Every structure is written in structure tokens, then in C-alpha cells.
Amino acid sequence: MEPCSKPIQEFTSPFDCLLFDLDDTLYSSKVGIGEACKRNIEEFLVKKCGFAEVKASGLRVELFKTYGSSLAGLRFLGYDIDADDYHGFVHGRLPYEAIKPDPQLRALLRSINQRKIIFTNSDRKHAIKVLERIGLQDCFDEIICFETLNPNISKSSRPNEFPVVLKPSIDAMKIAIDAAQVDPRRTLFLDDNERNIAAGKSVGLRTVLVGKQVKRKEGDYVVESVVHLPQVVPEIWVSPTDSKDQRMSRGRSEMDPVLKSTTVGA
Ligand SMILES: [Mg+2]
């Protein structure tokens, strides 16, 4: 064995970029935003599309299962729903004040030197509002969102001319990889949805299933919360350009507060 080859490999991070889902990944599903979102969708189906109130809940579930989202399903079925109107109704009235600042998560993200990108099915306005509420508005290099995945939707002459593209479709994963300009094999994708994680893995991304305690076959890693990343994927924090001494001092100064606080919460 060559004496120098092993240390270099050992101390080179396998990741150039991290792709983060937003909702229920960067804040807890227990906050209640998801539930409020479901109620707003059902109200949209009743008030804007004329469905009976008793059918709204079942229809929402059916549209989600079959088409990936209510908006995707409604447009596929020929309802001329403007995406901005839909998002304004469904997301615009969410109780954002329930999302609290998360300084621990902020410190953790700020300690990651690689590119960090949001990859969400939500619209950009929602993504920015949520990031501002958590205090993460300056922690990401880019936001890949509904508008990135569906650039032509506002130009369509009929509702089903351009099918709505969202995770977990393979098309959505490919658009995101293209937009982020990353090598999927050197990119870590974090999401709370197992179908999204499976889709990510199928296009070659390394994957972290968030919000679960037990590892599933789809995810390379599993974390109950993103703040536990240092314990589960410590190789994120290794920089190929660090000398040994820099590595040790950087590792201590940047990781200690994160590790201390995560240990308390773990
Ligand atoms: Mg999510």
C-alpha cells in the first residue's frame, strides 16, 4: 500500500453538494403546517372547483396518490387552475407563525462548507417564507422549487398541455440535478418522504431519510432530525483542501457547539 494514498482518501468528503427538502425536513411535521395545508387544499376543492364538502378529503387523497398533488391532478383532469392562484390559496394562508427560529439548525448548516440547495415541490414564495421563519434565509445557495420544475406551466394553452412535474417523478429528480449542476454520486439528498428518497436513489443520489428512527432500504442513512447529521454522516465535514492541522482545529471549533447541542436534544 502506498503510504500517502490512504490518508488522502480518508479525509476527502464524498459530498460536493447537499440537496435539502423543505417541509417536514427542515422543520418538524409536528408544527402542524402539513395539516393546515391539507385543510386549505380541501377548501380549494370545495370553493374553487365546486366539489361537495363531504367528498373533499377523499378526493384530495386520491389526487395525491394518483397524480402526485391536487394541482397536478386537477390540471390533468382539465380544470384550468392557475398555479399561482392555487399556491396563494393553499400556502398563502398557512399559520407560518407556528414555525419558530431554529438556531441549532442554522449553526449546523453554517458549518457545512459544501453547496447547499433547497429542493422542494412547494412554490418559491412559500419556500422563502419558511426559510425566513426558521432563520435560514442566508444558508442556501439556490432554491429549486415548483417554478423550476414547471417553467412552462404559465404558457400552456390548455390545463393538461404540460403535466405538472413534482417529486417523486424521475423527471423532477433529473431537472433538479440539471439545475443544480451536480454529480448525483457526490450529492447528498435529504427528504422526509420515502418515495422521494427512493426516486433520488434511482437517479444515483446518496440519500438521507429524515424524520424516522429505523433505516429503510431506500435511504443510505436515516436521521430523526437534520441536526443529528454530524453523528450519522460525519464525512460531510471533511474538506479535501484541509491540511491535517487545519482539519483538527476547524473540526473542533465548528463542530463542538453543534455536537454539544445535538447531544442534549438526542
Ligand atoms: Mg417534505
Cα of 22 vs centre of ligand 1, distance in Å, is 6
Q: What mean pLDDT is reported for the chain? A: 88
The model's pTM: 0.86
Cα of 196 vs centre of ligand 1, distance in Å, is 9
Helix segments in the chain, DSSP class H = 5-10, 33-47, 53-67, 70-76, 83-90, 103-110, 124-134, 146-149, 170-180, 194-202, 229-232, 244-265
Structural domains present in the chain:
11-27+100-234 (3.40.50.1000), 33-94 (1.10.150.450)
Task: Tell me the pLDDT tens digit for each residue of 7-17.
Answer: 444 568 999 99
Cα of 129 vs centre of ligand 1, distance in Å, is 15
Identify the pLDDT of residue 216. Answer: 77
* For residue 5, pLDDT beyond 90: no
Nearest to residue 99, comparing CAs of 132, 77, 145?
132
**C-alpha 225, offset from chain centre:** 13
DSSP state of 193: -
Task: Tell me the pLDDT tens digit for each residue of 66-89.
Answer: 998 999 999 999 999 999 999 999
Report the range of poorest mean pLDDT among 89-103, 105-119, 213-227. Answer: 213-227
Rounded to the nearest 10°, the torsion over CA 219, 220, 221, 222 is: 10
Cα of 94 vs centre of ligand 1, distance in Å, is 16
Cα of 25 vs centre of ligand 1, distance in Å, is 5
Which grid coordinates belong to 73? 391532478
With pLDDT > 70 as the criterion, what percentage of the chain qualifies? 85
* CB neighbour list of residue 113: distance below 8 Å, 6 or more residues apart: 237, 239
Whether omega before 184 lies within 30 degrees of 0, making that bond cis, reads no
Cα of 84 vs centre of ligand 1, distance in Å, is 20
Cα of 34 vs centre of ligand 1, distance in Å, is 9
pLDDT band at 56 (very low <50, low <70, confident <90, very high): very high
Cα of 29 vs centre of ligand 1, distance in Å, is 9
